[in-house]
Amino acid sequence: MIVEVPAAKPDGSGSYVEGQYRYRFTHCVEAHVETTVKPDAWNVSSGDEFTSYSAWDRTGSPDGYVWGVEFSDAYPGASMVADSPRAAVWSERLDRAMYEIQIETNAFLMKLVCHDLRVAQLAVGDPTTGDLMPLE
C-alpha cells in the first residue's frame, strides 16, 4: 500500500505531500475488502464516465462516485483489531504471532491478517514546489 502524508506549507498558503511511504504487510494470510460507498452512490456511479477522473471531468462532473481517481482518503484510517479471533486462529495454525489490521477509507473497508508491517519512505515532498523527490 502506498501512503502519501499531507502537511501544511510553512507559509500557511496551503498543503503539500510531505512524504510518500510503502506499507508492506508481510505473511498476509487473509484479506477481506468491501465497499464503504453507499448504495445510492453506487446506483448513479456505474457509467463509464466514473472510471477515470478525466472521463468524469469531460462529461461535466456528474453526481456520483469517481472510481478512477486512483486513490482513497485513509479516513478514519488504520487500527489493530484487539483480541482478533481471526488472528488467534492463524497464530495457532502457523505457530507465530499474527495480527488483524483494519483500514477504513472513503471507499473501502479492508481487513488483513498478517504477521508484520514494514514501512519504507519512498519520497520526500518539497513544500515550495510541491514536487515529490524519490529517495535512493
- Over its length of 136 residues, how does the chain's per-residue pLDDT go in tens digits? 999 999 999 999 999 999 999 999 999 999 999 999 999 999 999 899 999 989 999 999 999 999 887 788 888 899 999 999 999 999 999 999 999 999 999 999 999 999 999 999 999 999 999 899 999 7
> Is 135 among the domain residues?
yes
The residue to which cell 464503504 is assigned: 36
Q: What pLDDT shows up at residue 136?
A: 75
Assess contact for 132 and 123: CB atoms under 8 A: yes
Take residue 119 and report the three cell numbers written for it: 514501512
Q: Is residue 111 part of a domain?
A: no
Burial 67-86 (b: 16+ CB within 10 A, else e): eeeeeeebeeebeeeeebeb
Beta strands per DSSP E along 1-136:
2-8, 15-26, 30-35, 77-80, 99-104, 108-114, 116-125, 132-134
Residue 78 lies in a domain: no
Count of Cβ atoms closer than 10 Å to residue 28 Cβ: 14
Distance CA 63, CA 23 (A): 32
Q: Is residue 95 a part of any domain in this protein?
A: no
State the pTM of this model. 0.83
**By residue range, what is the domain housing residue 9?**
1-25+117-136
- Domains in the chain, number: 1
pLDDT of residue 64: 92
Within a domain: 18: yes
Beta strands 132-134; 2-8: pairing state? unpaired
